[in-house]
Amino acid sequence: MGELALITAKHPAAFAEGPSHEMFVESRFSCTIAATLSHRGTILRRPEWKTIPWSNKTKGPKDFLVDIFVELPYLLERFDAVIDCTDLPFRMILAKGCLEYAIGCERSLVKWLETAAPRGWGIKGCRLAFGDATPADIRDAHSMCLFWTTYSQVLTTIQCLLPLIGSLKAEARNARISTDSF
């Protein structure tokens, strides 16, 4: 995470223009991949890191998608905290909070897909035109790979949390029944 340390050693305004902005945009993506693999959220998910570097630039669709992607490591960190927690009531609180956060991420991804996804790559499927790929085609395919990878991770987290919350509720009911019977 040396790259992240170099970035966060400066204020977000240091990345508002010129080569430093381009470096930040690329580094934000690679730092988030590393953080996702380690399930550790980063400072890059804070609002100032999503806005100030674009104070002199216009965000493109991929920038907005990466704004959602930077939430994924934190979501996975929260999910790990749920799994590692042994205190039943606190684990339930963590699980519900994590589920709400995951649903928020999922809604943001759907909104991005509906409003900012490359034309022809939306909910109804991707373009099926064959021919020579243009740089724009490669850029769009890259954005959609990021979208579907992030969406898959978020949905998998939701799918793991739903039955876990159900089993935690059952455990809590059983614990009350067993202590109430004495």
pLDDT digits (tens, 9 = 90+) for 170-181: 887 887 765 444
Q: Are residues 66 and 53 in the same domain?
A: no
- Is it the case that residue 108 has pLDDT exceeding 50? yes
Sign, CA torsion 44/48/49/51: positive
Q: Are residues 180 and 136 in the same domain?
A: yes
Distance CA 133, CA 12 (A): 35
Q: Are residues 68 and 40 in the same domain?
A: no
Q: Which residues contact 169 (CB under 8 A, 6 or more apart)?
A: 92
Number of domains in the chain: 2
pLDDT of residue 127: 55
Q: Are residues 137 and 47 in the same domain?
A: no
Could you report the per-residue pLDDT of 39-80, keeping only the tens digit for each?
A: 999 999 999 999 999 999 999 999 999 999 999 999 999 999
Whole-model pTM? 0.87
Amino acid at 85: C
Q: Which residues constitute the domain of residue 54?
A: 1-58
